[in-house]
Chain A
Amino acid sequence: MENRDKESRIDRIMTSVDGLQKATAPDFFYTRLTGRMQRELDEKSKPFFVLRPAFATAALSILLIVNIIFLTQWNSQPAKDTTAQPGKPATIESFAKAYDMDASSLYE
């Protein structure tokens, strides 16, 4: 008996969607559809994303940070040593210094 009740219950559930009445599209469906299509069209015609304020601000900030890093690195570099160093190839500056030929000596 219990098994028959169970089967009967299952049958009822399985047939619960029989004779389903037609569901219809919501009211104003066409209006909402065309509204969405227009919005998507407007989105597409917006300027290329690079020109968007958020992107431009981020790009400029990065550029600024890179410049600051570069400048601080440049300023912290030690001054170039112009005297001749043993074992190192001579430079124009070390040659001039060795023969006392810098600009100030020419006018003496």
Chain B
Amino acid sequence: MTEQQLITALCNGEETAFKELVNQFSDRVFKAPLGLLQHQQDAEDIAQEVFIQVHRSISQFKGDSLLSTWIYRITVTKSLDHLRSKKRKKRFGFVRSIFGDNNQPIVDPGDLIHPGIIQENKEDAAILFKMVDQLPENQRTAFILNKVEDLSYREIADILKTTESAVDSLLQRAKQNLRKKLSEQINNSP
């Protein structure tokens, strides 16, 4: 099925087309939030929400980009929304903890190291992801899409609706910031 045929079939509500869409994109749609959120269950929830959103709004897809680009945009938006919501809960959780909340964790801290990481690199990757988590949102997104999703600058620019040179700039700043944070971390560690 070509992309256009798939879109037409989805607009007609054909379940086989939807299944085909999920089969084609599920890995990518799962991987991106996994890199951004570093939480397996959250990543699966986000992936489900992305497909539900696609199912609802496929008729609004104008075809001015590739279907994959459109789906990635929804994925990144939902992942970032989830991250912001988690941060708000964390802040509110601190207030709740002052008044006592039976010592229950307010926010699940996440358990993940990306499953695709080689065993011997897991410890270093855990440190890296922790630093990536502290980057500004746009740098973090660009870094994850490039390093984890292995997308080209062109693809990242399409998803973020920016230019390739802007993506390059984001990645350069991300790497500089990461090196700086890692250097501080190493200096402060015993």
Same complex origin of A and B = yes
User: A residues bordering B, Cβ < 8 Å?
Assistant: 6, 9-10, 12-14, 16-26, 29-30, 32-33, 36-37, 40
CB distance B182 to A26 under 8 Å? no
Interface residues in B102-161 (C-beta closer than 8 Å to A): 114-118, 121, 124-125, 127-128, 147-148, 150
- B186 pairs with A9, CB closer than 8 A: yes
Are B175 and A20 neighbours in the complex by a CB distance under 8 Å?
no
Tell whether, in the assembled complex, residue B116 and residue A23 are in contact, meaning their CB atoms are under 8 Å apart.
Answer: yes
Q: Provide the bound-state CA to CA distance between A9 and B47, in Å.
A: 34
Chain A hits for B118, CB < 8 A: 19, 21
Chain B interface, DSSP helix/strand/loop, else mixed: helix
Given A10-B179, A29-B44, A30-B19, are A23 and B147 also a contact pair (CB < 8 Å)? no
Q: Given the complex of chains A and B, what is the CA–CA distance between A40 and B124 in angstroms?
A: 41
The answer for the CA separation of A14 and B114 in the assembled complex, in Å, is: 15
New A-B pairs, 12, CB < 8 Å, besides A10-B183, A21-B115, A32-B48: A9-B182, A17-B128, A22-B116, A23-B27, A25-B47, A29-B22, A30-B19, A30-B26, A33-B51, A36-B48, A36-B52, A37-B52
CA A10 – CA B44 in complex, angstroms?
Answer: 31
List B contacts of A37 (CB < 8 A).
Answer: 52, 55
User: In the bound complex, what is the Cα–Cα distance between A9 and B116 (angstroms)?
Assistant: 21
Across the interface, A23 reaches (CB within 8 A) one of B30, B179, B182, namely B30
Could you say which of B26, B44, B125, B182 contacts A17, with CB atoms under 8 Å apart?
B125
Partner of A13, one of B22, B127, B147: B127
Judged by a CB distance under 8 angstroms, whether B29 is at the interface is yes
Contact between A26 and B44, CB atoms less than 8 A apart: yes
> Is B23 in the interface zone, CB < 8 Å from A?
yes
Q: Is B34 an interface residue (CB 8 A)?
A: yes
Per-position binary interface string of chain B over residues 15-48, scored 1 when its CB falls under 8 Å from any chain A CB and 0 otherwise: 0000100110011011100100000100010011
Identify the interface centre among A9, A20, A30: most chain B CB within 10 Å of its CB: A20
In the complex, whether B67 has a CB less than 8 A from a CB of chain A is no
> Please, which residue of chain A has its CB at the minimum distance from the CB of B45?
A36
27 contacting pairs across A/B (C-beta < 8 A): A6-B183, A10-B182, A13-B124, A13-B182, A16-B125, A16-B127, A17-B114, A17-B121, A18-B147, A20-B114, A20-B116, A20-B148, A21-B115, A23-B27, A23-B30, A23-B114, A24-B26, A24-B30, A29-B22, A29-B47, A29-B48, A30-B19, A32-B44, A32-B48, A33-B51, A36-B52, A40-B52
